[in-house]
Structure 1
Amino acid sequence: MARSLALFAIGLVFGGGAGFVLAAANGVTFDGHDHGDPSHHGGTHAEAMAHDHSTTVNLPAGADAPSVAIALTQDPMAGWNLHVMPQNFRFAPENASTADVEGEGHAHVYINGEKLARLYGNWIHIPDLPKGEVEVSVSLNANSHSALTVNNVPVSAAVTVQVD
């Protein structure tokens, strides 16, 4: 039994090491990708363009126009809790990356202008914020990932907090 366990451990070490060497030899890195660059989405050019964050879906103003409000509170244990409260808008994770349907989609959460996450519900826990004055903002986006606008004004909300 001890010999089998030792051989298993040796196999894991050498197998894992060989995997890392093979990945490094093929240019694989662990630093993620620039989500704003459509060429990093993989697939065909048409697929990359379908996930273009620079386009907008403009809706007319009126009683049915979407809007969003946010509230950021410090979590009693650690981090921050962001409450996203859309009006005339439904989070639709089941339709992400599909054709736009008026009044549904997802949100993008930003910290000081840098995208933190895609959001499919009303709450998100933010484990840590940088020190100093911090702007947390949220934009509503269509299923196609295009930003929603009303009369060409982005449907978004922001709050600024001082983090010590």
Structure 2
Amino acid sequence: MLLIGLFFGTGIGVVVAAGNDLSLTGHDHSDPTHHGGTDHAAMHVETVEAPDGLGLSVEATPDPVGGYNLHLDAPNFTFAPGSASGPHVPGEGHAHVYMDGVKLGRFYGPWIHVPSDGEVSVTLNANDHRAYTRGGKPLAAALRLD
């Protein structure tokens, strides 16, 4: 019965998707209308020069329950969750946090918990996801947790 249900359930799902012009191929990152008219693929490659005074440092404190609490000190930077994926506003955006080279996600505030030891790196990114740079170098901070 389980196999029959899976077979017919899958078939019905395919018919419904086809009837609604849906596909399982994902979305086209080169589509300029994706993300409010910004080329999604380019957003993760292009950069934007950081305004004067914008900086970044990170400190870690061991959490008594496990992992570490990171504090991002970002002078002259405003975390702007309501403007995510919106137009660039100098000095606004979010942080991208990486653990051992793997992106943990976007963060919209100065405090972050990471669950384990490892190499942590943080970048500041504009609302439109471009990385802030200074003199062509990423505005980033890194530290080893162990």
> In which range does the TM-score fall when normalised by the shorter chain?
0.7 to 0.9
Out of 101, 107, 113, which is 1:125 matched to? 113
Structure 1 residue 88: Cα displacement: 1.1
Structure 1 residue 75: Cα displacement: 0.6
Structure 1 residue 100: Cα displacement: 0.2
Give the fraction of aligned pairs with identical amino acids, expressed as a percent.
43
Query: What pairs with 1:28-43 in structure 2 (closer than 5 Å)?
Result: none
Aligned to 2:46: 55
Which structure: greater helix fraction?
A: 1
1:143 corresponds to 2:143: no
Q: TM-score, normalised by structure 1?
A: 0.66
CA distance, structure 2, for counterparts of residue 50 and residue 101 of structure 1: 18
Q: TM-score, normalised by structure 2?
A: 0.74
Aligned to 1:161: 145
Structure 2: give runs of 5+ residues left out of the alignment: 15-24
Aligned to 2:31: 45
**Secondary structure at the residue paired with 1:106?**
strand
**Secondary structure at the residue paired with 2:74?**
strand
Structure 1 residue 40: Cα displacement: 5.3
- The worse-fitting range, judged by mean Cα deviation, of 137-146 and 120-129 is 120-129
Query: What pairs with 1:79-158 in structure 2 (closer than 5 Å)?
Result: 79-129=67-117, 134-158=118-142
**Secondary structure at the residue paired with 1:100?**
coil
Cα deviation digits, residues 11-57 of structure 1 (max 9, x gap): xxx7xx759x639x86xxxxxxxxxxxx9556871116246211100
Aligned to 2:20: none
Structure 1 residue 59: Cα displacement: 3.5
Structure 1: give runs of 5+ residues left out of the alignment: 1-13, 27-38
RMSD over equivalenced CA pairs, Å: 2.8
Corresponding residue pairs, total? 126
CA distance, structure 2, for counterparts of residue 102 and residue 41 of structure 1: 29
**Secondary structure at the residue paired with 1:109?**
strand
Bigger radius of gyration, 1 or 2? 1
